[in-house]
């Protein structure tokens, strides 16, 4: 059992958190609650708590100071942070101080809350094992055959709690042997559908049989949905292949023979357990970067590291949050463009995905509080969109979420634009769109072309045409794409690229919404 302490200065929040946890049917035990960090420290030390669920902003001692004090005192448990939407900077600091993760107070649900707690428990399980304390599950299932325990030991090494100092006995190695380790991820965007995990396991077994001949042993271990750990040991006179070459061959063979797109993270060859555990830990950290679809050929060294962002990223985040401060038609286009630009910058800089998601959620929060969204007297619910962002597993999914949200905002606010006189600048802007539709069109470039500021151009453009600039641009693109497909000389994918929409899923959705049928059903002239 793992003891939990809940810390928040509001009694109603402490009570709500307590009721979300399924105490009777889980391995968690309620150890008490506290209204501030100072009281929490005494309670944690007295009860021997393993998990601390804490707010950030509290009197006497806030959550950040509590985390720092716990870490300084050698606290061997984990801290889960509760935050509000406007606490992004504090959350980022809490994670740097050692918090395990954070959850938004307004989106708390029992299912997701219990899932997070169980992940923490698994981490603590691994910590107990590495320190020589057997868990209840392991005590009930004693090891009989040392070789049969290899997969369990590899899983433990692969866990997020593994450290290079935890391994010294070298039970996995013989004198002169060396071990290759790979993390294999099943990509979502697969032409022939997403295969089951068992299917991919069979595919990997077939590939490994031919790719690693002469090995002492090979283990393919499913560790998470769509994720596998591949570990191979060779004796001294075995293969000397380069890990990167083997990783690329795995990717190419899976696609060539089984039409399965995988991503592979490879580590350096290990000569002992301490090195192997370190390589696996590095691979775990590098996995975050596979969130970005621009990673070259989906083959990645575990030496690649993510970033917290630089000035360009933080400026882009600020621009996104500020888009709706002026309640007019310009805000819609500027918000969507800012959000997509933020995702693009994050991909180039390899920003840690949680940081990007928190930045986008901040932008969604700004939409929810914009006067423009409540001008028709209705209430817009942002909770669904926040959950979609948190659940996204790739940057392409985030882009699709932004586009869908843009469509919803346009439909909701489209009737609110006031009527103004026609302007010549709008005609120039339309001509610019018609000439550059196949390129990456940025509102800033259009505004510079016609000699107006971005917000003012967006405002007068919508007044003149009844549509936003991005919506008008998409109409031009759909008309051009229809012409191409009608000629019979273009495939759907080719037409999408020719009109400036390389994302085939987004192109199909736009086309079907515009014409009422999918692009593949266009009849040739």
496 falls within a domain: yes
Domain boundary among 71, 96, 130: 130
Please indicate, yes or no, whether residues 293 and 320 belong to a single structural domain of this protein.
no
Among 181, 180, 186, smallest CA distance to 202 is for: 186
Residue 82 burial (CB count, 10 A): 21
Question: What local confidence, expressed as pLDDT, does residue 194 receive?
Answer: 43
Q: Residue 283 is part of a domain; what is its CATH number? A: 3.30.70.270
Please indicate, yes or no, whether residues 84 and 152 belong to a single structural domain of this protein.
no
Residues of the chain with pLDDT below 50 are 130-146, 164, 189-195, 296, 415-421
| Kind and range of the H or E run holding 462 | helix 454-465
137 falls within a domain: no
Please indicate, yes or no, whether residues 73 and 204 belong to a single structural domain of this protein.
no
Question: What local confidence, expressed as pLDDT, does residue 198 receive?
Answer: 56
Q: Phi then psi for 365, rounded to 5 degrees?
A: -65, -35
Structural domains in the chain (count): 3
Is-contact 469 432, C-beta < 8 A? no
Distance from the Cα of residue 328 to its chain's centroid: 32
Is-contact 108 16, C-beta < 8 A? yes
The dihedral sign for the CA sequence 442, 448, 450, 452: positive
Q: State the alpha helices, DSSP H only, in 300-416.
A: 311-322, 330-349, 353-368, 383-391, 395-413
Please indicate, yes or no, whether residues 478 and 334 belong to a single structural domain of this protein.
yes
Question: What local confidence, expressed as pLDDT, does residue 80 receive?
Answer: 93
251 falls within a domain: yes
Among 265, 269, 245, 246, smallest CA distance to 177 is for: 269
Strand pairing of 78-83 and 101-104?
Answer: parallel
The residues, ordered by sequence, that sit 6+ positions from 462 with a Cβ below 8 Å of its Cβ are: 329, 330, 332, 417, 468, 469
Could you give the dihedral angle defined by the CA atoms of residues 256, 259, 260 and 264, in that order, rounded to the nearest 10 degrees? 20
The residues, ordered by sequence, that sit 6+ positions from 226 with a Cβ below 8 Å of its Cβ are: 185, 186, 188, 197, 200
Angle among Cα 306, 189, 409 to the nearest 5 degrees reads 80
Question: What local confidence, expressed as pLDDT, does residue 170 receive?
Answer: 63
Among 154, 156, 171, 82, smallest CA distance to 125 is for: 156
**Rounded Cα–Cα distance for residues 229 and 231 (Å):** 7
**Rounded Cα–Cα distance for residues 14 and 21 (Å):** 11
Domain that holds residue 104: 2-130
Please indicate, yes or no, whether residues 167 and 283 belong to a single structural domain of this protein.
yes
Q: Residue 122 is part of a domain; what is its CATH number? A: 3.40.50.2300
Two tokens, residue 90: 């504090």
pTM of the model: 0.51
Question: What local confidence, expressed as pLDDT, does residue 307 receive?
Answer: 85
Beta-bridged to residue 186, according to DSSP, are 262
**Three-state SS annotation for 487-522:** HCCCCHHHHHHHCCCCCHHHHHHHHHHHHCCCHHHC
Question: What local confidence, expressed as pLDDT, does residue 166 receive?
Answer: 54
Please indicate, yes or no, whether residues 332 and 443 belong to a single structural domain of this protein.
yes
Beta-bridged to residue 32, according to DSSP, are 5
Question: What local confidence, expressed as pLDDT, does residue 372 receive?
Answer: 62
| Residue that has been written with the tokens 């769109």 in this structure | 433
135 falls within a domain: no
139 falls within a domain: no
Please indicate, yes or no, whether residues 361 and 282 belong to a single structural domain of this protein.
no
Please indicate, yes or no, whether residues 115 and 19 belong to a single structural domain of this protein.
yes
Please indicate, yes or no, whether residues 412 and 506 belong to a single structural domain of this protein.
yes
Please indicate, yes or no, whether residues 151 and 20 belong to a single structural domain of this protein.
no
Distances in Å between the Cα of 442 and the Cα atoms of 268, 316, 399 are: 42, 14, 16
Q: Residue 358 is part of a domain; what is its CATH number? A: 1.10.10.60
Please indicate, yes or no, whether residues 85 and 202 belong to a single structural domain of this protein.
no
138 falls within a domain: no
142 falls within a domain: no
Beta-bridged to residue 2, according to DSSP, are 28
140 falls within a domain: no
Domain boundary among 301, 335, 358: 301
**Rounded Cα–Cα distance for residues 239 and 72 (Å):** 46
| Kind and range of the H or E run holding 77 | none
Question: What local confidence, expressed as pLDDT, does residue 415 receive?
Answer: 43
Please indicate, yes or no, whether residues 510 and 448 belong to a single structural domain of this protein.
yes
Domain boundary among 240, 271, 301: 301
The dihedral sign for the CA sequence 282, 284, 288, 294: positive
């Amino acid at each position: 059992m793992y003891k939990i302490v809940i810390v928040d200065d509001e009694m109603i929040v402490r009570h709500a958190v307590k009721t979300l946890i399924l105490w009777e049917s889980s391995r968690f035990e309620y150890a008490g609650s506290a209204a501030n960090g100072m009281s929490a420290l005494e309670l944690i030390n007295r009860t021997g708590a393993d998990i601390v669920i804490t707010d950030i902003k509290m009197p006497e001692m806030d959550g950040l100071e509590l985390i720092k004090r716990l870490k300084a005192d050698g606290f061997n448990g984990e801290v889960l942070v509760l935050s509000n939407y406007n606490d992004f900077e504090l959350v980022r600091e809490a994670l740097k101080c050692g918090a395990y993760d954070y959850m938004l107070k307004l989106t708390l649900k029992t299912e997701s809350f219990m899932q997070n707690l169980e992940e923490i428990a698994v981490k603590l399980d691994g910590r107990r094992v590495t320190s020589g304390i057997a868990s209840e599950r392991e005590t009930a299932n004693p090891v009989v055959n040392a070789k049969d325990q290899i997969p369990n030991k590899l899983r433990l090494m692969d866990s997020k709690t593994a450290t290079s100092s935890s391994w010294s006995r070298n039970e996995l190695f013989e004198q002169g042997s060396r071990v290759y380790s790979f993390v294999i991820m099943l990509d979502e965007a697969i032409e022939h559908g997403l295969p089951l995990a068992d299917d991919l396991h069979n595919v990997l077994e077939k590939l490994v049989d031919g790719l690693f001949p002469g090995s002492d042993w090979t283990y393919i271990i499913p560790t998470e949905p769509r994720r596998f750990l591949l570990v191979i040991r060779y004796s001294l006179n075995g293969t000397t292949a380069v890990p990167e070459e083997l990783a690329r061959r795995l990717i190419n063979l899976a696609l060539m023979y089984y039409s399965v797109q995988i991503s592979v993270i490879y580590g350096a060859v290990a000569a002992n357990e301490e090195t192997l555990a370190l390589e696996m830990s590095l691979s775990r950290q590098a996995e975050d970067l596979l969130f970005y679809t621009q990673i070259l050929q989906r083959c990645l060294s575990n030496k690649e590291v993510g970033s917290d962002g630089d000035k360009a990223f933080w400026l882009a985040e600020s621009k996104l949050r500020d888009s709706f401060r002026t309640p007019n038609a310009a805000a819609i286009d500027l918000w969507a463009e800012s959000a997509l630009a933020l995702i693009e910058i994050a991909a180039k800089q390899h920003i840690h995905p949680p940081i990007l998601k928190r930045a986008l959620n901040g932008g969604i929060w700004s939409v929810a509080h914009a006067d423009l969204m409540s001008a028709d007297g209705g209430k817009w619910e942002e909770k669904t969109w926040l959950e979609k962002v948190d659940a996204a597993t790739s940057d392409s999914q985030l882009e699709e979420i932004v586009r869908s949200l843009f469509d919803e905002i346009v439909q909701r606010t489209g009737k609110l634009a006031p009527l103004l006189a026609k302007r010549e600048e709008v005609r120039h802007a339309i001509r610019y769109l018609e000439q550059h539709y196949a390129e990456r069109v940025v509102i800033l470039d259009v505004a510079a072309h016609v000699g107006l500021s971005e917000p003012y151009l967006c405002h007068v453009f919508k007044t003149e045409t009844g549509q936003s600039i991005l919506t008008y641009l998409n109409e031009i693109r759909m008309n051009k794409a229809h012409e191409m497909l009608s000629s019979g000389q273009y495939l759907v994918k080719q037409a999408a690229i020719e009109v400036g929409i390389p994302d085939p899923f987004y192109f199909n959705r736009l086309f079907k919404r515009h014409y009422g049928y999918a692009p593949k059903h266009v009849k040739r002239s």
